[in-house]
Amino acid sequence: MYMHDYMKVNSEGHLVIGGCDTTELAKEYKTPLYVMDEDRIRDNMRQYKNSIDKFYSGNGRALYASKAFSAVYMYKIAAEEGLGVDVVSGGELYTALKAGFDPSKIVFHGNNKSYDEIHMALNAGVGRLVVDGEGELEKIDAICKELDKKAEILIRVKPGVDAHTHQFISTGQIDCKFGFAIENGEAYEFIKKAMTFDTVQIKGLHCHIGSQIFLFEPFKCCAEVMMNFYAELKAELGLTLPELNLGGGFGIKYVESDTPVSYEGYIEAVSDIIKGICEENELPIPFIYMEPGRSIVGDAGTTLYTVGTIKDIAHVRKYVSIDGGLGDNPRYILYGSEYDAVLANRATDTPEETVTVCGKCCESGDIIIENCHLPKAQSGDIVAVMSTGAYNYSMASNYNRIPRPPVVMVSNGKSKVIIKRETYDDIIKNDIL
C-alpha cells in the first residue's frame, strides 16, 4: 500500500489527486481510468530545465521522450514548459505536429526509419535526425536533394556501458540493435563516412544506455566515454562536435523500496565530467540534450480500476480481479514489473492481506500486481495503481477487443478528458463490414 507524497487523502478516506476525489472521478468517467496529475508533470519537467540552467549555464535542452506517453496535450505541456521532444515514429511526429509543436525542437529517432518517415521529418523541418543505421545516410541524402535541404544530424552510438536494468530496456551495450559501437571502431568508421555527405551536417552524437536506472555510475561513465570519444574524433579527424545527446533512463518510484537518483545531482555530476574533459582536450563545451520520458510522466499517472470477482484459493493465493489488465498495463507480463496500489475509497484502512491483482484478459499472466498488500478488498472497491503514467497508455492494446481507457488530466480540483475512452465502434473501425 504505497502512495506518492504529492497525493492526499480526504476526510472520507478517499484518495485525492490534483485536488480531485478519485472515487468521484471513477463515478464520472467510469473505470478503468488513467488519471494524470498535470502539476506533477510540469514539476518534473521544470526539475530538468532548472538543473540545466543551474549546473550547465542553460547550455542544453531537456527533450521529453514522448514514447513514454504520446498525446496532443502532452506536446502542448512540453511546449509551454520550454522543453523539446523526442519522437521515434511517424505517428509520434504526426501527433506532435498536430499539437502545433515547434518542429525545430523535435529530435527524431529510430533504428529503422522508413523513407516516408524521414521525408515527413525533413519536410516538416524537424530539428535533428538521429541517424542509427547503415543505409540511412543514403536515404537522407536522396530526400535532401529532392527537398533542397541540408539535414542536421546526430549519430547514435553505443558507449558500451552496462546500465544494470532489465535486459529488454538496456541499450548501451554492444549487443543491441540501436546505434554504432565505439569499442569495435564501428562508430568511428560511420562518422568518417557521414563526413563525406554534403547534404548532412553532423551536429553531435547520441547515446542512451537504458531505462529505469537507479545508479549514478553508469550515467557518469557514459558521459566520460562519450567525451573521450569526442576528443578522439577531434584528434584523429579534426571533427569538433558542438552537441551531445545523453539520452534518458532515470528511474522512478513504483514501490516503496525504489530509490530514484536525483536529477539535479545527475546533471551536476555529468556537467563536471563534461567540462573537465573539454578543458583537458581543448574542446568546446557541447550543448547537451537529455531525453527523460518515464521520469516526466511515470509518477504523475495513476490507474483506477473497479474490483469485480474475488477468488480465494486455499493455500495458494487470492486473486482480486479488476476491470482492466494487460491491455492497459502490459508491463508485468513484459518485464515482470512491480507496482503498488491503494484502495481509493478506503485509503486509510490498514492492509490486512496479500493478494494478486489480476486483469480480465484471457491469459493467466494477465497480472498487474503480484503480492499486493491491501485492506480486505470487496467487489466494487476502487483500486488505484501508482506510477502508471509512463509506458502504459503508450503500450496499451486492444487484446480481447477491450477498448482502451480514457486519460483524464487533473489539476487544482478540476479534471478534463485529454484522450477519450474507445468505443466498440472504434474497435471495429478498420474491419471491413
Residue 169 near ligand LLP by CB under 6 A? yes
Residue 329 near ligand LLP by CB under 6 A? no
For residue 320, CA distances in Å to 42, 161, 214, 351 come to 34, 41, 31, 14
Residue 211 near ligand LLP by CB under 6 A? yes
CB nearer ligand LLP, residue 15 or residue 244: 244
| Sign of torsion over alpha carbons 231, 233, 234, 239 | negative
* Smallest separation (angstroms) from ligand LLP to the CB of 295: 6
* Smallest separation (angstroms) from ligand LLP to the CB of 27: 30
Q: Are the beta carbons of 356 and 316 closer than 8 angstroms?
A: no
Q: How many residues bind ligand LLP (CB under 6 A)?
A: 22
**222 labelled catalytic:** no
Residue in 248, 301, 324, 403 binding ligand LLP, rule: CB under 6 A: 248
For residue 108, CA distances in Å to 118, 289, 426 come to 9, 13, 29
Considering only residues 1-60, where is the footprint of ligand LLP by CB under 6 A?
none
CA distance 232 to 230: 5
Considering only residues 368-427, where is the footprint of ligand LLP by CB under 6 A?
391, 395
Quickly tell me which residue has 532515470 as its cell. 250
CB nearer ligand LLP, residue 109 or residue 346: 109
Residue 252 near ligand LLP by CB under 6 A? no
* Smallest separation (angstroms) from ligand LLP to the CB of 3: 21
CB nearer ligand LLP, residue 72 or residue 169: 169
CA distance 170 to 163: 6
Using a 10 angstrom Cβ sphere, with 0-12 exposed, 13-18 middle and 19 or more buried, the burial of residue 193 is exposed
* Smallest separation (angstroms) from ligand LLP to the CB of 318: 27
CA distance 320 to 312: 8
Look at residues 97, 131, 95 and name the one whose alpha carbon lies nearest to residue 113: 131
CA distance 183 to 393: 37
DSSP code string of 329-368: -THHHHH-----EEEGGGTTSPP-EEEEEE-SSS-TT-EE
CB nearer ligand LLP, residue 245 or residue 271: 245
Q: Name the one range near ligand LLP by CB under 6 A: 112-120, 285-293, 312-320, 418-426.
A: 285-293
* Smallest separation (angstroms) from ligand LLP to the CB of 212: 6
CB nearer ligand LLP, residue 335 or residue 399: 335
For residue 377, CA distances in Å to 170, 172, 266, 342 come to 37, 43, 41, 10
Binding mask 335-374 for ligand LLP (x = CB under 6 A): x---------------------------------------
Considering only residues 54-113, where is the footprint of ligand LLP by CB under 6 A?
65, 67-68, 86, 109
* Smallest separation (angstroms) from ligand LLP to the CB of 336: 11
Considering only residues 286-305, where is the footprint of ligand LLP by CB under 6 A?
291-295
Catalytic one of 207, 278, 362, 372: 362
CB nearer ligand LLP, residue 26 or residue 65: 65
Residue 255 near ligand LLP by CB under 6 A? no
Residue 250 near ligand LLP by CB under 6 A? yes
* Smallest separation (angstroms) from ligand LLP to the CB of 299: 12
* Smallest separation (angstroms) from ligand LLP to the CB of 21: 29
CA distance 273 to 277: 6
Residue 137 near ligand LLP by CB under 6 A? no
The phi, psi pair for 369, rounded to 5°, reads -140, 125
Q: Are the beta carbons of 291 and 209 closer than 8 angstroms?
A: no
Cis, bond preceding 218 (omega within 30 deg of 0):
no
What's the CA dihedral at 223, 134, 192, 245 to 10 degrees?
-20
Contacts with ligand LLP by CB under 6 A lie at 65, 67-68, 86, 109, 169, 208, 211-212, 247-250, 291-295, 331, 335, 391, 395
Q: Which residues are catalytic?
A: 362
